[in-house]
Structure 1
Amino acid sequence: MIRLPETGGGTREYTPRTEPPAPSGGGALTSRTVFSAAHVVADPYADTTPDSPAAVDWDATLAFRRHLWSHGLGVAEAMDTAQRGMGLDWTGAAELIRRSAAEAKAVGGRIACGVGTDQLAGDPLTGPAGLAAVRKAYEEQLALVEETGSRAVLMASRALAAAASGPEDYLELYGHLLRQAGEPVILHWLGPMFDPALDGYWGSADLDTATETFLEVIAAHPDKVDGIKVSLLDARREVALRRRLPEGVRCYTGDDFHYPELIAGDEQGFSHALLGIFDPLAPLAAEAVRTLDTGDVNGFRAALDPTVALSRHLFRAPTRFYKTGVVLLAWLAGHQDHFTMVGGLESARSLPHLATAYELADGLGLFPDPALAESRMRSLLTVRGGL
């Protein structure tokens, strides 16, 4: 038994699992293309500050990617789950992309890498001069990703949101990038709940108006768009959007609240997946998709639906701090030896929040060694809460 802190004060008793989960098989997934956006493992012994460049434990970071590939998932690299713009700068992200792409080639893993403009962080960007800088930054990152042989994910840009004066600026800039891309890319629409600086993306705070601009970009270059990644936490909007996509353009759900129903789909189609929650859920999620590969939709939902409570907890507002819970679970599961994060982000969630994450994950059987997870949770409760 372990005593966990309550949100409103006090504690509660919880009896952890004792039996480890049954090992799941590997192999490729066939009915859906599934990426896990992967976190980075910080170097806990580096003498850093929140303002200094990130210090990454490369061995542990790449080992975690091999774990994801071993379950048949693809890796979405250098996305917001890897703390892009929240501790990991472009120099660190570029190194992460190079190393992960090389590792993917070595093991035959699927990989897609984030392309953004975060080398412009802190620069005043408005008007035409700002748009030119945004375009140059995107071009630099796109060139690097394509050099590694990875699929590019054109991420939403804070700098573009600041510099653009309306939808026409998005149409012109994305059109330029798509014409330039050597291979089809994934377009990423990240909502302001994940990053408040992206409010009004695609030139309007009205989501219906923004959707029309987004679809116009795709319609003008369908041969250069592998798919879209939608992270708006609005299942009905995603379904409506995917039904309007040109043939051959995939919808990758980024909805960490409604992913089982969106991946399962309906009579008019389904979503593939590019999800941060599949970082901690990798074995369970992969096994669920293998069930779906057999045509067993009910079995897929029975396996994945119970995970939504954990996902909604990790991604609760302020949503951008979901990474803290993701890294906690990686530590408890034994994928890394510590709970230290880039930029000190391990402090971004309360102890009661982390305790609930542990309880929900343990209830799902996510920990290969439940006794190790319990021991590590006890040490965290002692250090941070005196329990």
Structure 2
Amino acid sequence: MAVETGPRQIVTPFRPIPLAVPEGMKPNEFFNSTENLNDLANNNGLLRNPEGLLLYRKALGHSNLFDTSIIYDTSRTILDPLGRPVRRTQVPEHVKAVWNRMNQIIVAAMLEWFPDPDRHLVLAGEASLDATWPLTSPGVPSIRMLHNHFIVFDKAELAAAPAADPDNPNLTDGGQHSLFQSHMREVYRAFFDGFEFQILKPCQAGSCRLALTGYPQGLPSWEIQGGAEALKDIRFWEEYDTILMGFIDFYRTFFGQVSTRNAPLPAGIHFPELVKRRLQHDNSLLTAAKMVRERCIADAKYANAIRWQPAFKQLIYRNDRGQLIVTISQNSIGNAITELLGVVVERKPDADAYGAAEPALVEKLLEVRRRLAAADLGDGIATPWWGTD
């Protein structure tokens, strides 16, 4: 019997976090604080390095099969949450070089431990944490520091999970995704075609979707030629950054035109000549900008939901054929990175269920830490759950 294609909603148990939000503070205000970061490091920290990168166990995880993150912890050096780096393009080069090596080692470990694409969904990626919508909104980013996710899901569990609501705003990107796809699909793809890559090869439309969920939907995607080995090549990370910078240029150009009719190029654009040639005078882009601008003027709720600065999810995942694929979202309203691949995670407190999965999970996390430390990428952190070795 064939399994029906569509997004899935799974339940992931977690151990209740031993943190009390101070009276008078909203949860999203507290989770911006250094106190929350102290708990993250002291209770869940795995490894830290002089560059400020912190590897940790996800206390509120997406998956208990494998789930970890690296955060660029600037909580003590930049106290203003709005002044912290929130994307790769804002990270100093020497930090990014270390970050790239950490990413490569963790992805290699996941592929080693979960080698069968029919059995496991493997993904790694970055989420934008820009505060580009009202700070009183419940969707405001929590920690507001750039971090990467490394996650593995059991495909059998996903196949057995109930269908997710396809109208869930986290799957539809609150209308912004359809805005790009309905009105600027061709100009968006043509813009990315202006880049010449050696390692990344554009996927044909729909060819990189997961058969189980049907996602990602409508997003530009690229095959990593050479697979996991290519992640050791600095050229791959340069091309990975180019995709992000190109996306930021497109997004800023479009919403600049939404904000101000016939706006000049945004300051600090990465690829000004490409933007001039392929975007600034494109009728499809300018027509869509006019449509959004006029709706913003007439619809306060719609205008309030606009993400005026670039918001994105960029990830590497393994498709059904075992290829590694890069994709990037077009906008998001607080959605998890897993939802880009059609996986909605409902977290529920259940210490017993989490405890049953914890030993195998921690064993893999500590092995990842050992490999990173051996590569001179940091030193172990002791917590109540594990030592420094």
Query: What range describes the TM-score normalised by the shorter chain of this pair?
Result: under 0.3
Q: What TM-score do you get using the length of structure 1 for normalisation?
A: 0.25
Highest relative contact order (Cα 8 Å, sep 6+), 1 or 2? 2
Greater share of residues in helix: 1
Q: What TM-score do you get using the length of structure 2 for normalisation?
A: 0.25
